[in-house]
Amino acid sequence: MLRTRSLSLLLVLLLSPLTGFAQDPDINAKIRKEGMENSKIMRTMHYLTDVYGPRLTGSPNHKAAGEWAIKEMQSWGFENGHLEPWDFGHPGWLNERFSAHILSPVKDQLTCEVLAWTPGTNGTVTGQAFQMIAPEKPAQEELTAYFAGIKDKIKGKIVMAGKHTIVPVTINPSPKRSDDQQLKARYDPNNPNPGQFGGRPGGPGANQERPDPAKLTPQQIGEQTDKFLLENGAAIRVNDAGRDHGQIRAFNNRTFDVTKVVPTVVMRNEDYGRITRLLADGLPVELEFNIVNHIYPEGKTSYNSVAEIPGTDKKDEVIMLGGHLDSWHAATGATDNAVGCATMMEAARILKAIGVKPRRTIRVALWGGEEQGLLGSQAYVKEHFGSFEEPKPDFNKLGAYFNIDSGTGRARGAGVFGPPEAAAVVRQALAPFEDLGVMGAIATKGRNLAGTDSSSFSQAGLPGIGMQQDPIEYGTYTWHTSLDTYERIIEDDVKKSAVAIAAAVYQLAMRDDLLPRFTKEQMPPLPKPEPRPQRVDRPATPASPETKN
């Protein structure tokens, strides 16, 4: 009887469409049980957000978070944990203390976030509010004339940079879950027009106005505004957050040089509007600010955090998974992207906990500098793998890189850089998890650097795999905002994401062959460099001194 069963099992393996996959019939059940009943993902989230957030690139918080993550993964049995340095080129920055109040004609607290890489106030500063409203989309001569007309009015003033943004009430909110049938169609390989893996909110592909060469760009306006305020003695610059329900997005002084700007804050739209209306009534408005910022020269070296589960007979080949550890500083960076890091750490932990002995090495990487342009992952790819055009010895040893970076929503499908055969492998690995909402995988061929770290791998011609997720509140309320905290994480969703990804990583780590790749004839060409698109989520006049990939 035992011999018969063994022969039957062998026949099943030989006839399986996933020849070369690990065919342990119980592995997915073990992964589900460990991931749903013994999860450590929310503990990881707590530490990355409550203890170490925010995690701005180059800051002590970011490095400390990476060190903690490595120590935690090593406690789970991972090996080769280390910080891998790369050149950020800018000092670290941290806001240590901040307060803002309106003193007259009423007394009240104001809600703001400090713009990164801007100076502090060297104590409490009080001053009259002055609102500068430059011409919209000005030509150079128009902006120069406007500056000349207000030059003598801003010394010592707290300058409101731009008119108040009227934010319309959202009558029909965006759905928080993706439609199952639409996703099935998107990931159906038999669909004659399958949808490509979607972009992130506001990323490449968003509608962009064609610039008028006779007009200044928002970046040019912002640079000239910063210079004007600094040279003419403005005390503080205040930008309108321009978002509803008190949300604030605060990015950075685009020069990363605190000597080139005045102290700058982003004020919630509701407070900015109140002051605008008081000034419009002809009432003098007195404001008070105290900003304490700190510069860390050692932040010019930033880090990726790496740990791994060593492989066995194919240990020189690697399956990677990760997310970016750095965050913006308006909140604690929960949905962007502590949750991605925690999910990938958890996926690998599950495999270690159930005793998997992977054939290939499973490596977790938590990136720095994603928010400044995918800098950490680009540095890693260049150092370790090179590119299709200029490969390094390990270029052909990377089996795949899985990435997650779109909030708390469940993983619903995968975009796989490579030929359709590669997507077919990932699709079948994910197929047992349709009950968790995972609808498949689709092949992609874009080599543009997009809005997340998997595109650093895809641009190099490597198999980057980006996981699509349910939107939940990511693009509307938590992405880069002051609301991006631990409370926005849906525990059931992130557990299910970790389970599905763990299973896919396991299959790719155990199968006989690496994922199929584009041949030399199939490899899409590198795209021509394009001008960096301007941000579209802030008032354009005057432009805020911010950047975001």
Whether the pLDDT of residue 12 is over 90: the answer is: no
Residue type, 376: G
Extended beta strands in 297-433, E state: 301-309, 314-324, 360-367, 398-403, 411-417
**Residue 7's pLDDT band (boundaries 50, 70, 90)?**
very low
Given this model, what pLDDT does residue 540 score? 31
Stretch among 183-187, 270-274, 423-427 having the lowest mean pLDDT: 183-187
> How many angstroms separate the CA atoms of 77 and 320, rounded?
17
Helices (H), 356-485: 375-384, 420-430, 454-459
Query: What are residue 312's phi and psi, to 5 degrees?
Result: -115, -100
Given this model, what pLDDT does residue 14 score? 39
**Residue 532's pLDDT band (boundaries 50, 70, 90)?**
very low
Q: How far from 29 is each of 130, 403, 534, CA to CA, in Å?
A: 64, 23, 47
Given this model, what pLDDT does residue 548 score? 44
**Residue 528's pLDDT band (boundaries 50, 70, 90)?**
confident
CB contact at 8 A, 365 and 305? yes
> How many angstroms separate the CA atoms of 423 and 148, rounded?
60
Whether the pLDDT of residue 190 is over 90: the answer is: no
The DSSP letter of residue 295 is E
pLDDT digits (tens, 9 = 90+) for 389-407: 999 999 999 999 999 999 9
Whether the pLDDT of residue 167 is over 80: the answer is: yes
Given this model, what pLDDT does residue 16 score? 42
Given this model, what pLDDT does residue 188 score? 85
pLDDT digits (tens, 9 = 90+) for 354-390: 999 999 999 999 999 999 999 999 999 999 999 999 9
Element (H, E) at 172: none
Q: Specify the higher pLDDT residue, 202 or 258.
A: 258
pLDDT digits (tens, 9 = 90+) for 38-87: 999 999 999 999 999 999 999 999 999 999 999 999 999 999 999 999 99
Stretch among 215-219, 392-396, 405-409, 525-529 having the lowest mean pLDDT: 525-529
Given this model, what pLDDT does residue 281 score? 97
> How many angstroms separate the CA atoms of 57 and 86, rounded?
11
Given this model, what pLDDT does residue 200 score? 52
pLDDT average, residue stretch 7-21: 42
Whether the pLDDT of residue 542 is over 80: the answer is: no
Whether the pLDDT of residue 100 is over 90: the answer is: yes
Q: Is the dihedral of CA 126, 127, 128, 133 positive or negative?
A: negative
Residue 404 CA, chain-centre distance (Å), reads 9
pLDDT average, residue stretch 93-103: 98
> How many angstroms separate the CA atoms of 416 and 443, rounded?
5
**Residue 277's pLDDT band (boundaries 50, 70, 90)?**
very high
Whether the pLDDT of residue 132 is over 60: the answer is: yes
Q: Would you call the peptide bond into 211 cis, given omega within 30 degrees of 0 as the criterion?
A: no
Q: Which of these, 168, 158, 166, 164, lies nearest to 272 by C-alpha position?
A: 164
Mean pLDDT score of the chain, rounded to an integer? 91
pLDDT digits (tens, 9 = 90+) for 418-448: 999 999 999 999 999 999 999 999 999 999 9
Structure-token pair, residue 110:
């104001």
Given this model, what pLDDT does residue 22 score? 53
Whether the pLDDT of residue 180 is over 90: the answer is: no
pLDDT average, residue stretch 302-315: 98
> How many angstroms separate the CA atoms of 261 and 538, rounded?
19
Residues in the chain: 549
pLDDT average, residue stretch 169-182: 90
Report the percent of the chain where pLDDT is more than 70.
89
The DSSP letter of residue 50 is I
pLDDT digits (tens, 9 = 90+) for 459-512: 999 999 999 999 999 999 999 999 999 999 999 999 999 999 999 999 999 999
Stretch among 142-146, 376-380, 384-388, 531-535 having the lowest mean pLDDT: 531-535
